[in-house]
Amino acid sequence: MTLLSVNLNKIAVLRNARGESEPDIARAAETCIAAGCGGITLHPRPDRRHVTPQDVMLLAELVHGRVEYNLEGNPFAPPREGYPGFIELVRRARPTQATLVPDAEGQITSDHGFDLARDARKLTPLIAELNALGCRVSLFIDAGAEDLERAAAIGASRVEVYTGPYAKAFAAGNHDRELQACATTARRARDAGLGVNAGHDLNQRNLGALKRAIPDLAEVSIGHALIGEALYDGLERTVRNYLEILRS
């Protein structure tokens, strides 16, 4: 079955709005795990506008041995005050998976994948270090990306297909082309020996069609929509709803 990893960044956004401790990101993680999710995702950014390095370490201890832990981030972002750099965070937290994302400084959310022809040389030693730490490495890529063999050649085990354009097209009622692009990219990745993850703007309405198009999808990482839907239905029930979609 496709693993559901719940991204808890938006819990931290709500907490930080008051500068206090509620909602409690640890309690949210416990609720998601109790509901049956297979993983917890955090995407710490250098500006610390949502999850912080302290959150990363707190949840590393909380989820250890229970579910997978996925850290997302830009491996090229340099350290600064209050942020040790993504690779250093991975060294400390030892997540199950490190998802490398080329998000720029100040970018609101991830909106494109790596250009492997341009970035492979810089990524190679970083992926080697992450692999040596025991982390599975996934590279964030666009649907329609070429040369996926290069991702495998530089040491990645998986790719995460960026599903933002598919989700936008689904909402507009004309998603066949974008869904086919995701499915074709997944097939090419598998042919290259890579596992396939997917993420961004997935929700309860559009997830089923994606899962049917990519039956052997390894993992989906869902945060923004899931936390938004949980405001109406509750966090535990919402996680269970997503799991039911993935099962069926």
Catalytic site positions: 43, 72, 200
Q: Cα 176 to the chain's mean position, in Å? A: 24
The closest of 239, 159, 151 to 196, measured between CA atoms, is 159
User: Residue 71 contacts by C-beta under 8 Å, 6 or more apart in sequence?
Assistant: 41, 42, 43, 44, 56, 86, 89, 90, 93, 95, 97, 98, 99
Work out the angle at residue 76's Cα, subtended by the Cα atoms of residues 202 and 178, and round it to the nearest 5 degrees: 25
User: Residue 16 contacts by C-beta under 8 Å, 6 or more apart in sequence?
Assistant: 49, 50
Task: Please tell me the distance from the alpha carbon of residue 169 to that of residue 183, in angstroms, as a whole number.
Answer: 15
Which residue's structure tokens are 């996934």? 138
Q: Maximum CA pair distance of the chain?
A: 48
